[in-house]
């Protein structure tokens, strides 16, 4: 059976795969520092015989696009890399997308080892980016390499994308779309704990300024505390969250207590212990349902905040206005009955001998852009551990990385189609 | 009548007094920059024939004292100035205390003119420090000068203190006490709108760290929001405030809706819109009743915060611990029947032809230190406008400054006692 060969190939290349991930993790590819790891990826793709496209996105072109967001607008030294494995024709194409940017390591004291150690311990590889999502990219690379190594010929194209800027709003993937890359489907091996996400939540960042009136703390009754007013605002937002989530009936969210949360992540107000604070700033993230439009969600929140005045007349003259700023991830939705879902699920059963968990993702990825803007239905599925992404002591279970590699390789074969020139004896159809 | 002479003398010296205040306001004597204005005060005191004591407080000595607080411990270039007008003997002594440090001007855009303009318009003099409390110090200086100018001899000593550091916790006045200055009573012309405060609120700054548990905003239900927990803390503090104020039955607080408020002035938590914040810092000011001990108030708050766990078990494992930091003003209480109260009240009626308002102050001054530590019962009474202190466009009504000067001069005469060698014809006893 072909699946057996793929399994064996991957098992024989565990050490190589581990070393590859180690090399990638040891390069701290935070925003603006992606070039070195991209050189490594481009070399790897060339080594496998793929045609490699290497370019630094044009900030001016990106900035003109409504879906662009990044805190920067110059991408010199921050290249995208795309490798194309041309099929023989007649098959379905697929994009394997993954990002090379990692979030900063944060306080080094919270890490047991160097944040970029790449240390292997008890079957886990540690370091910033190991789970989010260099490990997933290694799965994709190993999958393609296995197909090359086994001499398997595919009908459809496989397009491997190693992009920048996912963590900051998706400008790297946006640049691939604007450059014309598209396919019949896409897979992003973001850290899903090997769950399959045909739908993903979008999100937007908001800022709310709450106004009070200053006074000396000794006569605080002469002022109006913006901290106390901000509590009414937080409570009001909680009610909006309830309202919005009551509408979510998608069974993919059945096990999710709050499918589209509104998170308040930052609060800041006042500057003197003995003064009544006259402003409080709240910053947060509004989850957007997979089928919802960003504009509709914005509108709902703006209208809702206007209704604060019904609860407290203070807000009539001092509205808590919403501002949208910073990052924004487009939601995405692929029909759970989509052909790629069936194929991927089948390979999952083949490799893991158990039923896959199919859910909607609680966070956004570049998959929203691919699905909505790139017209390339995208599924998110990968080996990383969701709960350690962005955290100290981030790590990946290496077994999962190799299992994912196997599943992705088999998915490519079934999705893109085996060419007639089969080099192995087994027919995949007999599986 | 002597009071008529005093009135006339003050009226004749309005221009000189205005110019003096102008010169003082034009020197931005924020913390660390008090020397220039102290040179001016010392010259003025010497010009009036007073013995002048000029010294830079010794930080090491101060730091060893339990009542010391300042963000700094070195006072080079920040002198205290004390001028003593010796009485002929047999009378009561008095300290006229005032501070030369001013709070920073803040955002210059909020000021109509330069914050240190000293501009006079419609009988008001503008600039940082005009009200808090250089204007009050001018009242004291004019009072002493009028007595000198009119050739009046007093029995008791008048000790004029121009101190640093009132705005930062009272280290200047503490240094005068440690140097041995004391008297039978004291008056501080802080901005009370000409109300008489025999009692004053003390206060202490506190900081509370509220703990949550971080998580990605898209799965916020996996975390615990320190912002939401901080609201429970704020609510809990409100209840403590209610409880403490219900106990205040002093008639001097009859017109004060919250005699000893607990103000929360600063809130700060989280650093990323899409993350559940794991800490929130609250900073505030706890008012302390005139007869209350600082340590008792501290203890009550600490015990109260421990009871948070009764409302929410989260706080059992994650207590919202109270830390005391920064500034602290000792409360002060003088019997409303104290002799100086009677004398000052009488001069108020004499000058303003109306009943004085006698209240307890809603904020602390150096008077707490003088009363409690310096064993010098201190009354706070001055011409500045409470509501413009620490604010942009701070100003003083010049008429009030001269009225206060008159009242203080007459108070000195009645408190310290007229020496037999009366130079004017009128007997004050005949008033």
Boundary-marking domain end, from B314, B329, B344: B329
Are A225 and A299 within one domain?
Answer: yes
Q: What's the CA gap between A376 and A374, in Å, rounded?
A: 5
Note which residues in 255-274 of chain A have CB less than 8 A from chain B: 257-258, 261, 263-274
Q: Is A166 a catalytic residue?
A: yes
Active-site entry in A34, A53, A101, A184? A101
Cα(A29)–Cα(A384) distance, integer angstroms:
18
How many interface pairs between A and B have CB atoms less than 8 angstroms apart? Answer: 166
**B36 to chain A, minimum CA–CA distance in Å?**
27
Q: CATH number of the domain at A50, please.
A: 3.40.630.10
| CB atoms A273 and B285 under 8 Å | yes
* Same domain, residue pair A122 and A211: no
The count of other CB atoms within 10 Å of the CB of residue A88 is: 16
Are both A185 and A57 inside the same structural domain? yes
Interface test with B, best of A132, A195, A217 (most B CBs within 10 A): A217
**Given this model, what pLDDT does residue A326 score?**
83
The DSSP output letter for B372 is H
Rounded CA gap, A10 and A141, in Å?
11
Average pLDDT, chain B: 94
Residues A422 and A293 placed together within one structural domain of the fold: no
CB contact under 8 A, B219 and A275: no
- For residue A431, the model assigns a pLDDT of 38
Q: Which of B145, B166, B167, B359 is catalytic?
A: B166
Q: Please name the residue that has the structure tokens 């000058």.
A: B351
CATH number at residue B227: 3.30.70.360
Distance between first and last Cα of chain A: 7
Same domain, B132 and B154: yes
> In the prediction, which pLDDT does A108 show?
87
pLDDT < 70 stretches in chain A: 420-431
Domain shared by A195 and A78, yes or no: yes
Confidence of residue B152 (pLDDT cuts 50, 70, 90): very high
Q: Which residues contact A135 (CB under 8 A, 6 or more apart)?
A: A21, A125, A189, A191, A382, A383, A384, A396, A400, A401
Task: Give the residue from A268, A300, A329 where a domain finishes.
Answer: A329
Residues B235 and B151 in one domain: no
Residues A190 and A219 in one domain: no
Q: Do residue A286 and residue A416 come from a single domain?
A: no
Average pLDDT over residues B123-145: 98
Tell me the Cα Rg of chain B: 24
Contacts of B327 in chain A (CB under 8 A): 273-274
- CA of B194 vs chain A CAs: smallest distance (Å): 17
Task: Kindly identify which residue of chain A lies nearest to residue B289, measuring between CA atoms.
Answer: A218
Domain boundary among B310, B329, B348: B329
Closest partner residue to B269 (CB to CB) among A267, A274, A390 is A267
- Residue B258 to residue A220, Cβ atoms within 8 A: yes
Q: Is the CB of B180 inside 8 Å of chain A's CB atoms?
A: no
* pLDDT at B424 exceeding the cut of 70: no
Domain that holds residue B179: 2-200+331-430
Under 8 Å between Cβ of B26 and B93: no
Residue A356 and residue A293 share a domain: no
Q: What's the token pair of residue B120?
A: 């006079």
Please identify among residues 220-249 of chain B the ones whose CB lies closer than 8 Å to any CB of chain A: 220-222, 225, 227-228, 230-231, 234
Active-site residue, from A166, A209, A366, A394: A166
**Long-range contacts: A110-118, Cβ < 8 Å, 24+?**
A110/A392, A110/A393, A111/A392, A111/A393, A112/A393, A115/A28, A115/A392, A116/A25, A116/A26, A116/A27, A116/A28, A117/A25, A117/A26, A118/A21, A118/A22, A118/A23, A118/A25, A118/A26
- Across the interface, of A219, A268, A386, the residue whose CB is closest to B268 is A268
> Quick one: what percent of chain B has pLDDT higher than 70?
97
Say whether A274 and B327 touch across the interface (CB within 8 A).
yes
Query: Do A359 and A193 meet the contact criterion of CB atoms below 8 Å apart?
Result: no
Closest CA to B268 of A271, A30, A310: A271
> Is the pLDDT assigned to residue B425 strictly greater than 80?
no
Do A275 and A379 fall into the same domain?
Answer: no
Chain A residues whose CB is inside 8 A of the B387 CB are 222
Residues of B in Cβ contact (< 8 Å) with A386: 216, 219
B427 noted as active-site residue:
no
DSSP labels for B131-167?
A: IIIIHHHHHHHHHHHHHHHTT--BSS-EEEEEES-GG
- The count of domains in chain B is 2
Nearest CB to B263: which of A201, A276, A386? A276
Predicted local distance difference test score (pLDDT) of residue A429:
41
The whole-number pLDDT of residue A137 equals 98
Partner residues linked to A267 by β-bridges: A282, B269
Are A307 and A335 in a shared domain? no
Residue B383 Cα to chain centre, angstroms: 13
Question: Does the pLDDT of residue B276 top 80, yes or no?
Answer: yes
Query: Are the Cβ atoms of B217 and A263 closer than 8 angstroms?
Result: yes
Structure ipTM: 0.84
pLDDT the model gives residue A215? 85
């Amino acid at each position: 059976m072909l699946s057996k060969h793929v399994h064996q190939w991957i098992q024989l290349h565990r050490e190589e795969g581990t070393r590859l991930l180690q090399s990638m993790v040891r390069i701290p590819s935070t925003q603006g520092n992606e070039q070195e790891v991209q050189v490594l990826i481009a070399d790897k793709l060339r080594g496998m015989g793929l045609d490699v496209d290497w370019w630094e996105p044009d900030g001016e072109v990106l900035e003109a696009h409504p879906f662009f967001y990044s805190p920067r607008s110059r991408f010199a030294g921050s290249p995208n890399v795309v490798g194309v494995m041309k099929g023989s024709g007649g098959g379905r194409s697929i994009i394997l997308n993954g990002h090379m940017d990692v979030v900063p390591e944060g306080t080094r004291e919270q890490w047991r080892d160097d944040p970029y150690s790449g240390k292997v311990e008890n079957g886990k590889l540690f370091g910033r980016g190991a789970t989010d999502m260099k490990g997933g990219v290694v799965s994709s690379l190993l999958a393609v390499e296995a197909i090359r190594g086994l001499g398997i010929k595919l009908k459809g194209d496989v397009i491997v994308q190693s992009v920048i800027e996912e963590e900051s709003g998706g400008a790297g993937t946006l640049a691939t779309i604007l450059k014309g890359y598209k396919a019949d489907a896409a897979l992003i091996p973001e850290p899903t704990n090997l769950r399959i996400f045909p739908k993903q939540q979008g999100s937007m960042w908001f800022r709310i300024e709450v106004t009070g009136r200053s006074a000396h703390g000794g006569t605080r009754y002469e002022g109006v505390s913006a901290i106390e007013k901000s509590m009414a605002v937080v409570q009001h937002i909680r009610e909006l969250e309830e309202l919005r989530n009551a509408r979510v009936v998608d069974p993919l969210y059945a096990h999710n207590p709050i499918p589209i949360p509104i998170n308040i992540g930052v609060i800041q107000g006042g500057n003197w212990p003995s003064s009544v604070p006259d402003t409080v700033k709240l910053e947060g993230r509004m989850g957007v349902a997979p089928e919802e439009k960003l504009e509709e969600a914005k509108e709902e929140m703006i209208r809702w905040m206007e209704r604060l005045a019904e609860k407290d007349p203070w807000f009539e003259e001092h509205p808590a206005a919403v501002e949208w700023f910073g990052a924004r991830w487009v939601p995405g939705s692929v029909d759970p009955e989509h052909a790629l879902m069936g194929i991927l699920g089948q390979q999952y059963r083949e490799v893991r001998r158990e039923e896959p968990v199919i859910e909607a993702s609680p966070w956004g990825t570049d998959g929203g852009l691919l699905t909505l803007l790139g017209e390339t239905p995208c599924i998110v599925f990968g080996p990383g551990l969701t709960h350690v992404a962005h955290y100290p002591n981030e790590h990946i279970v290496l077994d999962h990385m190799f299992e994912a590699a196997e599943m992705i390789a088999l998915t490519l074969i079934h999705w893109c189609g085996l060419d007639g020139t089969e080099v192995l004896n087994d027919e995949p159809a007999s599986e």
